[in-house]
Amino acid sequence: MLTAAALLVTAFLFGGMVLYSFGFAAFLFTALPAETAGATIRKAFPWFYLFVIATASLAALLSFSNDAFSAATLGLIALTTVPTRQWLMPAINAATDSGNKGRFKALHGASVVITLVHIGLAGWVLIRFLP
């Protein structure tokens, strides 16, 4: 039963990250004026990161008894999302507010890489569920 729950929660994490990153964020910038889309994204990202932290943590706990390596990987996703949310996201916002486009591009690029790595790691954990 724990294995099924771990699989479902990990799939929820993977799907949520993919949908948010490639669906919601992209949709906002095509459906809304840039200023409105940017303000909306700024309000949504703290919630996205909390989703990743909570879901990855739960998936790690559920995975631990069956696959400690996957649990550690999911725990790593949760742990590395904390500084992304608490430090990197505010730094990106500050760069935007100050008009520092170079700093924004570098910091935003780092956040994109972190999210892509998290998606890849969650996908890899899902593959580990296969027989």
Residue 101 belongs to domain spanning: 2-16+46-128
34 lies in a domain? Answer: no
Question: Is residue 118 included in any domain, yes or no?
Answer: yes
How far apart are alpha carbons 102 and 52 in whole angstroms? 27
- Looking at the 3D structure of the chain, how many domains does it have? 1
The model carries a pTM of: 0.94
What local confidence, expressed as pLDDT, does residue 36 receive?
94
Model pLDDT, residue 1: 72
Q: In the prediction, which pLDDT does 95 show?
A: 97
Which pLDDT belongs to residue 31? 94
Q: Which residues of 92-126 are buried (b: 16+ CB within 10 A; e: fewer)?
A: beebbeeeeeeebeebeeebeebbeebbebbbebb
Place of tokens 């879901």: 55
Q: Could you tell me if residue 99 is left (phi over 0), alpha (psi between -120 and 50 degrees) or otherwise beta?
A: left
Per-residue pLDDT of the chain (131 residues; tens, 9 = 90+): 779 999 999 999 999 999 999 999 889 999 999 889 999 999 999 999 999 999 999 999 999 999 999 999 999 999 999 999 999 999 999 999 999 999 999 999 999 999 999 999 999 999 999 98
58 in a structural domain: yes
